Amino acid sequence: MKKFVKASIATAAGVTLLLGGAGTFASWNASATTAGATIASGNMVVEDSGDAGSWTANGAAISLAGYSIAPGDTLTYTKTMSVSAEGDSIQATLGLTGGSIAAADPTDASDQALAGYLQAGATLTAAGEGISGTGPTFSVAPGSGVVDEDVTVTVTIAFPAGDTVGGNNDAMGGAVNLSDLTVTLTQNTN
């Protein structure tokens, strides 16, 4: 009888522990569907409009291929770019990539020096609806949620005259590649 009582007590204790760990069996639950809607993501695009750009040196039209730049010169490239930005809270930055002005021969010291001077003196300006700022980068902010237009982009590349006589001699005979001028449109993440 003792074994039977002990077994009964152990079984009752086990069942009590199992039931106690499972929580209560009586709980209420309710749910309701709220009104929603479909949303869509926006987009950003900057691309060549297909129109040819134009180069000037010190205000006069030039053919870039045969031009030899000298300290004190300012080259200007004007181009129409198509800019699209769609998003109710989108903010983006329009800018010029650092690799847009590259030494023709990355191992040549005079090419590197000329590229350094021209990169330091390069600025981008842009004008159009939804474009704001004073450079070197510009903000693209759709006022009504959408910017979709051709924007005039101007790249100005100044070759400084130098602080001293012969101060830019390290760039004499140098060459740079300007064929990869690249305008970027990058979403601001802050």
Cα–Cα dist 156/164, whole Å: 23
Distances (CA, A) of 63 to 8, 53, 76: 104, 11, 12
Q: Yes or no: say if 107 and 96 are a contact pair by the CB < 8 Å rule.
A: no
Per-residue pLDDT of the chain (190 residues; tens, 9 = 90+): 566 656 566 565 555 555 555 555 568 888 888 878 887 777 778 888 888 889 999 999 999 888 999 999 999 999 888 888 777 777 777 888 878 899 999 999 999 999 999 988 888 888 877 777 776 566 776 666 677 778 888 889 999 887 777 778 999 999 999 888 888 888 877 6
Amino acid type, 1 = M
Check residue 56 and give its pLDDT: 94
Place of tokens 């021209």: 118
